[in-house]
Amino acid sequence: MKIYIDLILFLNFAFDFILLLTVSILLKRHATLKRIFLGSLIGSITILVLFIPFTTINLFIMKILLSIIIITITFGIKDLKYILTNLLYFYITSILLGGFMYYLNIEFSYKNIGMIFYHKGLSINYIFILITSPIILYIYTKEMKKLKEINQNHYKVDIYLKDKIIKLNGFMDTGNTLLDPYKKRKVIITSNNELNNYINENNFFLVPYETINQTGLLKCIKVDKIYIEKLGIRKNIVIGITKEKIKMNGIDCILNYLLMEEK
C-alpha cells in the first residue's frame, strides 16, 4: 500500500485549520489567521509522530500532548481552565466532523447485498474535508451560538401562591417590559394551565397590553413571591395569564426584562 506523505500533511493541515477556526469562533477567542495557520501547520507536521511504533497508552498520551501544543500555539496560555476549555471544544468539534466523515464513507464507499457489505469506489474523505466540512461546521457553529444565547436567557421559576408552589421554565424576553398601570408592578406572562385554573377561582384584575399586532386586556393576579434562578426572590410581582400558548420549546412563562435591573 502506498502512503503519500504530502497528501497526508495537506489533508491534516486542512482538517486542523477548519477545527481551530471553528473553536475560535465558538469561544470568541479572536485568534488571528496567522496563529491558526501556525497551529494547523504544527498539527500537520506532528501527525508524522503517529507513524512511530508506540504502545496504545503511549500513543494516547502523545495525542493528548500534541493537541495541547496545537491549542496553546493557536490560542495562547492564560490559565488551566482556559486551556482545558479550548481542548474540550477542539475534541468535540473533531469528533463531530470525524463522525460525519465516517458516516459518509460508509454510506457512499460501501455497497451491500443483503447483509453482506463490500467496498466499492474511492474514499470521499478528500472531497469531504475540502468542500463539505466547512459547511457542516458553519451550521454547527451557528446552531451552537444560537443554543448558547437561548440557554443564557433560560431560568427556572418558582411561583409561591397561598397554598402551593408552581414550578415553571422561564425565558427572559427583552420585549416584555409590561407594568400594571395601578402600582407599576412588573408582569410575568404565562399560559400555564394550573395557574389558569387558579386565576378563575380567585380575584383577578385586568391589565391592558399592546403588541405590534393587537391590543387587549390580560387577566392578572398578584402572588406572594417568586424565586428566579440566578436572580433570587422577587416580590410585588404580577402574573398575567394568556390563552395563547407560548411558542417556545420547553418554556412556560415569559419573564419581565425589567427584573434584570434588580439583579
Instruction: Encode pLDDT of 156-203 as tens digits.
Output: 899 988 778 888 888 888 888 889 888 889 999 988 888 877 776 667
Shared domain for 141 and 54, answered yes or no, is yes
3-state SS record for the chain:
CCCCHHHHHHHHHHHHHHHHHHHHHHCCCCCCHHHHHHHHHHHHHHHHHHHCCCCHHHHHHHHHHHHHHHHHHHHCCCCHHHHHHHHHHHHHHHHHHHHHHHHHHHHHHEEEECCEEEECCCCCHHHHHHHHHHHHHHHHHHHHHHHHHHHHCEEEEEEECCCCEEEEEEEEECCCCCECCCCCCEEEEECCHHHHHHHHCCCCEEEEEECCCCEEEEEEEECCEEEECCCEEECCEEEEECCCCCCCCCCCEEEEHHHHHHC
Shared domain for 219 and 126, answered yes or no, is no
Shared domain for 145 and 173, answered yes or no, is no
Q: Domain tally for the chain?
A: 2
CA nearest to 236, candidates 224, 228, 227: 224
Shared domain for 212 and 131, answered yes or no, is no
Shared domain for 158 and 104, answered yes or no, is no
- Return the ∠ at Cα 129 (arms to 125 and 131), rounded to 5°: 115
**pLDDT (0 to 100) of residue 36:** 92
**pLDDT (0 to 100) of residue 117:** 43
Shared domain for 139 and 193, answered yes or no, is no
Shared domain for 256 and 190, answered yes or no, is yes
**pLDDT (0 to 100) of residue 118:** 46
**pLDDT (0 to 100) of residue 262:** 65
**pLDDT (0 to 100) of residue 224:** 83
Shared domain for 77 and 132, answered yes or no, is yes
Shared domain for 105 and 11, answered yes or no, is yes
CA distance 255 to 169: 10
Domain end among 98, 119, 152: 152
Shared domain for 205 and 247, answered yes or no, is yes
Could you identify the residue written with the cell 488571528? Answer: 32
Quote the domain boundaries for residue 218: 154-262
Shared domain for 220 and 106, answered yes or no, is no
Q: Is 62 exposed, middle or buried (0-12, 13-18, 19+ CB in 10 A)?
A: middle
Q: Could you say which residues of the chain have pLDDT below 50?
A: 1, 112-118, 122
**pLDDT (0 to 100) of residue 34:** 92
Strand partners, 166: 159
CATH number at residue 220: 2.40.70
**pLDDT (0 to 100) of residue 74:** 93
- Return the ∠ at Cα 258 (arms to 256 and 263), rounded to 5°: 110
| 220 in Cβ contact with 241 (< 8 Å) | yes
Domain end among 121, 152, 183: 152
Shared domain for 94 and 169, answered yes or no, is no
Domain end among 110, 136, 152: 152
**pLDDT (0 to 100) of residue 172:** 86
